[in-house]
Every structure is written in C-alpha cells, then in structure tokens.
Amino acid sequence: MTLDNYFSELVDSGTAINHSDLLQLSGLAGPEVIELMGVWTTIPTERRREIVDRMTELVEDNLDLDFASVFRACLRDRDDLVRAKAARGLEDSDDRTIIRPLIDLLLKDDSLEVRASAAVSLGKFAVMAQDGKVLKRDAERIRVALMAVIEREDESLEAKRRAIESVASFNSPQVEQIIQEAYDDGNPELKQSAIYAMGRSSDSKWMPTVIQDTTNADPAIRYEAATACGNLGEEDAAPHVIALLNDDDSLVQLASVRALGAIGGSLSKRALQQCLLMGDDAIEEAAKTALEEIEFDDDPMGFSSEG
C-alpha cells in the first residue's frame, strides 16, 4: 500500500486501525508529515485519539520505531486529549527541536492533561541537560519552565507532580527543597512524586529516606521507593529491595526486580536467579531482563563469553 493510499484509509472511519499498517507512519520525513496533516483535520476526533494511542503503544513495545515527527505535528491538534497523548508519546524522544514546543505547552496550554504530559516529556531533556547533551540556554529554559509550573499557585496537582519529577535532574539546593517540601506535604500523591524525584536526582543523600519507605504501608509508596533505589543504584539498598520480592502487591514485586537489575552486584544477581524459580511468568520475564542488564554492565563488550 502506498503512503497516499494509507492516508486515505486513515480518514475512512469504516476501516479498522491496525498496528501493522501504522508502522508506515514511522520515520516520516517533513513533506510526508505535511501531507498527513493535510488530511488529519478531516479525521474524526475519536479516531485521531485512537491513532495516537496506538502509535504510543507501538513505541513502548519497540524503541526502534520513530513517530516523533507525527507526535510533534499533533501537538497543535485542536483536541486536548490528542495533544496530551502526542506530548506523552515524545517521552523518550531526544529530538532537541521539540523542546520549545513542549515548553510552550507546559506554560500556556489550557488543558491540565497537556501541561502534565509536556512536563513528563521534558524530563528526558532535563536528564540530557545534566549530561551536557543540551545547549545551556535550552537547559535553562527547561528548568525555568518546570519551576514556574511548580510555583504557580493555581496549577493542577498532576502538572505540579510531573514537573517536580522532571526538575529533579537539575540537582540544586532549590530543587532539593522542592522535593523535601513535596515529601512532607501530607498528600500521598505528592509524596510518590517526591520519592520518584529522589531517585531521579542521582543524589545518594536521599537513600536513607528511600530505604525507609520500602516498608511503607502504602503499596504505591513502596513501588516508588523500589524504583528510586534502582535509580540511585547503591548496592547497600539491595537487601531492602530483595525483601520486596515477596510483597503482597505484584507491581511492587516487578518494580523490585527491575531495581535489582539497575543496582547490580552479586547479591542482586543471586536474588534474581531465585526469581526465575518463582513460577510467575511476569516475574521470571522481568528477572531475565534484569539479569541481562547486570551481565551487560559487568561485561559491556561481551569478552567473558569469548572462548
């Protein structure tokens, strides 16, 4: 099927949208995106939402796919949910040209869902900024925009949460204070975001707090604590994360498996090998991936496998 024919098929509400055909939208060049957008406005709102949803699912399953050019074009869609889904679809993109559009959405869009999604996707660039992979002026724009949302009195809780999580990479006394205030606020959702931010900060000063929350009564807090332990990567946290492998909550269990893969070390490795015998398909699959991560970190060039 030619691209022109597929664009016509997208417009036809009587034709089902399937994943295999959507692959044609991966890696579209500028002129092709312009052509797609020429028919995009004629596609019913619900169908546009479904298309963006499906593309997001595909990217999550296959990072080699690239719908960034389509997602970026959809940031100007007239529908709030399409804009929000498109912004979220850019979460793993490192295309620096989307920084300014995302900042505009974060600061100016009327939809709280859109602002929250923009904050999430700017998080990738906040991390890149700390690694020196973003121009200093763009890094400062990102930091200032995220701080503005956090400090805005009438901002939604969701947008503030996501901004706190993303700004954590700009590790500074001001950011530390924001994380601590969110943690102490008393709102459980803000506390979840604060713990996530602690992990994202890569600052080991937060480790005692994060370890303490691996035994919190709230499974959502334990989940974030396990994730943060993995992001901080301190081997001292391994015993506390291992204890969560038998948690009553399956999501906490999976988070602890992933965290052990990030922490590494012999203790994590032995615990993950035991996970392969638990008889739980999801845990076993996650443990295999985590063990592969440890093996790669121990031997990135693969020398140990050579005869």
Cα 25 to Cα 70: distance, rounded to the nearest angstrom = 8
* pLDDT band of 302, cuts 50, 70, 90: low
> Hey, CA dihedral for 93, 95, 97, 103, is it positive or negative?
positive
Tell me if 117 sits within 8 A of 88, measured CB to CB: yes
pLDDT at 212 over 60: yes
Task: Determine phi and psi for 217, rounding to 5 degrees.
Answer: -70, -25
- pLDDT average, residue stretch 53-61: 90
* pLDDT band of 304, cuts 50, 70, 90: low
pLDDT at 158 over 90: yes
- pLDDT average, residue stretch 15-20: 82
Predicted local confidence at residue 307, as pLDDT: 41
Render pLDDT for 133-150 as a digit per residue (tens, 0 to 9): 999 999 999 999 999 999
Residue spans of the domains in the chain: they are 1-74, 91-170, 187-299
pLDDT at 10 over 90: no
The 3-class secondary structure across the chain, one letter per residue, is: CCHHHHHHHHHCCCCCCCHHHHHHHCCCCHHHHHHHHHHHCCCCHHHHHHHHHHHHHHHHHCCCCCCHHHHHHHCCCCCHHHHHHHHHHCCCCCCHHHHHHHHHHHHHCCCHHHHHHHHHHHHHHHHHHHCCCCCHHHHHHHHHHHHHHHHCCCCCHHHHHHHHHHHCCCCCHHHHHHHHHHHHCCCHHHHHHHHHHHHHHCCHHHHHHHHHHHHCCCHHHHHHHHHHHHHHCCHHHHHHHHHHHHCCCHHHHHHHHHHHHHHCHHHHHHHHHHHCCCCCHHHHHHHHHHHHHHHHHHCCCCHHHCC
* pLDDT band of 246, cuts 50, 70, 90: very high
- pLDDT average, residue stretch 209-226: 98
Name the CATH architecture for the domain at 187-299. Answer: Alpha Horseshoe (1.25)
**From 27-31, 194-198, 299-303, the region with the lowest mean pLDDT:** 299-303
- pLDDT average, residue stretch 8-27: 86
- pLDDT average, residue stretch 9-24: 85
